[in-house]
Structure 1
Amino acid sequence: MKKPSSFFLLLLGQENNEKEHGKIRLKRQLGLPSAVSLIVGTMIGSGIFMSPQGVLYYMGSPGASLLIWASCGVLAMMGALSYAELGTVIKESGGDYIYILRNIGPLPAFLFAYTASFVLRPASIAGVSLSFAEYVVATFYQDCPPPPVVVKCTAAACILVLVTINCLNVKFATTILNTCTAAKLLVLMVIILGGLVLLVNGNTQGLQNAFENTVPGFGPVGVAFYQAHWAYDGWNNLNSVTEELKRPEVNLPRAIMIAVPLVTCVYLLVNISYFIAMTPRELLSSEAVAISWGVKLLGSWTWIISLGVAMSTFGTGNGNFFSGGRVCYVAAREGHLPDTLSMIHVKRLTPSPALIFTAIISLIMIIPSSFNIIVNFSSFATWLFYGTTISGLLYSKIKKPDIPRPYKVPIIIPVIVLIASVYLVLAPIIGSPQMEYLYVILFILSGLIVYIPLIHYKYSPDLTLHLQLLLEVAPAAKND
């Protein structure tokens, strides 16, 4: 990593700060409440408002759908506990990338950084932004489907607002995240209470013969897991910002143990409310499940649900930007992405180059994509790398048992997660093969072509100084 010239630091008014305080760095500003809010805020997004249709479509019955939602919650908890051990041993930001790098090696870590930076994180942000846009635009097109160009322009505006927020100030971004998390939990409580009222009044038809029409099979279960997992995605986002977390050896496991069970319970109760209020046929034919629920139970007050969904998806997009930009930033700091992406703004102390880069790729991805394509495309690659990360944890536990581990998960838990990862990678390919999965594999393998000249032989154009001057950024030191 190149050290900025004294001329550059003087030009930005930072030379005295460099001498007196050492290198600039990201601050530890996240306490336990913000850590819990980050996990809950990124997990609860568009998924619980859009994925129930997909899960029901593939499983065929409410009972089987609820089993998928519960199983995903258990799997997310076991995965999060495994990542908690990794995060307390390797106290660096970057999540999967840094764990793969430290436990397995640079080439697999680069392939993850390459895929995450160009596909996984931007796809997640694009999918959430499209969900936000669909719910916002639907308010103005109640009698007809909204034009796709309007939806995509609204999604693009959402991305631009989110990147601006995250580039301005860390506290501002976390404040918005906390506010949106509170709002989305309030709306979900309205849905849960509405279902409870129906249940008390004897409306149980939706849960009678709950397993009738269940679709068994290796493939359908795997794809249904993909749909539900989209709603649970984000359980490991706190690991991406470990260097900004206060007392990570304590707060990381605590935040996970609070947040993931909370989200799982909320998801199960919300799905039960959906099934009580609507028949499976009504749910499958709905354009927006939460809105259809609101029309049946709230009537003219359905706008509360629309507003809550909009805030929920916006908050999730904000959380994905907050954590996703850090993955890109850490990969660049380790030399696997251009140097400029490893720098932070000298005044605002935000990784603005990495955030801007993520926003640009996300804007490109909303042009050809639909929500369902993004879900299947990203979930397949995500579980492939989850399995790689968990393999590194198992290797570390077996080969390096003497490493200090402030938090230690029983080895059976990562073993189960690894088996589930293998299943979720193979099940859709065997049971429901689609070209999307081949595209994902080819894209990941294309990273080898990039790795050889740019990383192994270190051939890349040097535009660092010019971009530093343009963006007012400088290299950052790691937090201890």
Structure 2
Amino acid sequence: MEQDKQRVNLKREVGMIGAISFIGGTMIGSGIFMSPQYVLSTSGSPGASLLIWAGCGTLSMLGGLCFAELGTAIPESGAEYVYMLRTTRAVLAFMYVFSFVSVMRPAGVTAMALGFAENVVAPFYDGCTVPPLVLKCVAAGSVLVVALVNCLSVRMGTAIQVITMAAKLLAMAGIILGGVVTLLQGSTVNLESPFEGSHVGVGSIGIAFYQGLWSYDGWNTLNFITEELKHPEVRLFFVTTLPNHDDVNSALYS
């Protein structure tokens, strides 16, 4: 007697709000609060730094659109690894995921955790240098907490992403509002000669782009959990050919 073959599937528990917060909460991280000073210093002028930010944003947008298309064509979790596995040789996909897990992702998580730790402990060390051991302990603890939350529950991780994204948006709104108020008060000295002192060397531009792209990093994170999305064809790509209007509405509000 033939037995039905059952496949273990991930629960589809991430909706539209969770998907948006997953990308937004990942992109709006420690990088956006730390990188602007480095982009400005390496580019040499406010005008050049704004062009760098515009270029980084354009590249990230194009990458996001490409990944949205890939996510709807190959609706499997894993992002780059799965796409390489389905389109190239398995050995290339293995080499990528091995380097990603052993080098690339740990380095990125370490940078974000250290940036988080530096901002968290700064109020307790006002006017003095934070001991490196304290920074490392707080950073390691934050990584363990985030890993534990994601292991315990997808819903809990999604809820935390929504809350943290709201807090980050409020912080960004405060910074933007402060800048607008400053401009309205007539503080435009940095815009009188916006490109004066710009660094046009390949090395300077490359480092500036590296810092800017690091701040935009995270536009591909939703593709890692494609199989956990409700209606991934809607969540991943909202501007491509979709089912009929009624199906889209029912998917959005389910």
1:225 is matched with 209
1:123, 1:208 → 2: CA distance? 39
Residue 199, structure 1, aligned to residue 183, structure 2: yes
Give deviations 1:85-108, integer Å, cap 9, x for gaps. 111111111000111111111121
User: In terms of Rg, which structure is larger?
Assistant: 1
- Written as runs of structure 1 = structure 2, the 5 A alignment for 1:109-124 is 109-124=93-108
1:385 is matched with none
Give deviations 1:397-432, integer Å, cap 9, x for gaps. xxxxxxxx958xxxxxxxxxxxxxxxxxxxxxxxxx
* Identity value in percent: 52
Structure 2 unaligned residues grouped into runs of 5+: 243-254
Question: Which amino acid is the alignment partner of residue 30 of structure 2?
Answer: S
- Written as runs of structure 1 = structure 2, the 5 A alignment for 1:129-278 is 129-254=113-238
Structure 1 unaligned residues grouped into runs of 5+: 1-18, 258-404, 408-480
Greater RCO (Cα-Cα under 8 Å, separation 6 or more): 2
- Residue correspondences, number: 240
1:105, 1:86 → 2: CA distance? 17
TM-score, L = length of structure 1:
0.48
1:248, 1:37 → 2: CA distance? 15
Change (3 A) 1:30 1:21: farther
Give deviations 1:180-208, integer Å, cap 9, x for gaps. 00010001101111111111111111222
Displacement of 1:23 after TM fit?
Answer: 4.7
TM-score, L = length of structure 2:
0.90
1:105 is matched with 89
1:95 is matched with 79
1:23, 1:78 → 2: CA distance? 34
**For the Cα contact (< 8 Å) 1:43–1:232, is it kept in 2?**
yes
Residue 69, structure 1, aligned to residue 69, structure 2: no
- Written as runs of structure 1 = structure 2, the 5 A alignment for 1:313-332 is none
CA RMSD of aligned residues (A): 1.8
Displacement of 1:20 after TM fit?
Answer: 11
Q: Secondary structure at the match of 2:76?
A: coil
Give deviations 1:137-166, integer Å, cap 9, x for gaps. 111111111011111111011111111111
1:146, 1:37 → 2: CA distance? 32
2:154, 2:228 → 1: CA distance? 10
Displacement of 1:43 after TM fit?
Answer: 0.5
Q: Secondary structure at the match of 2:126?
A: coil
Question: Which amino acid is the alignment partner of residue 55 of structure 1?
Answer: V
**For the Cα contact (< 8 Å) 1:89–1:406, is it kept in 2?**
no
1:51 is matched with 35
2:248 is matched with none
1:244, 1:145 → 2: CA distance? 43
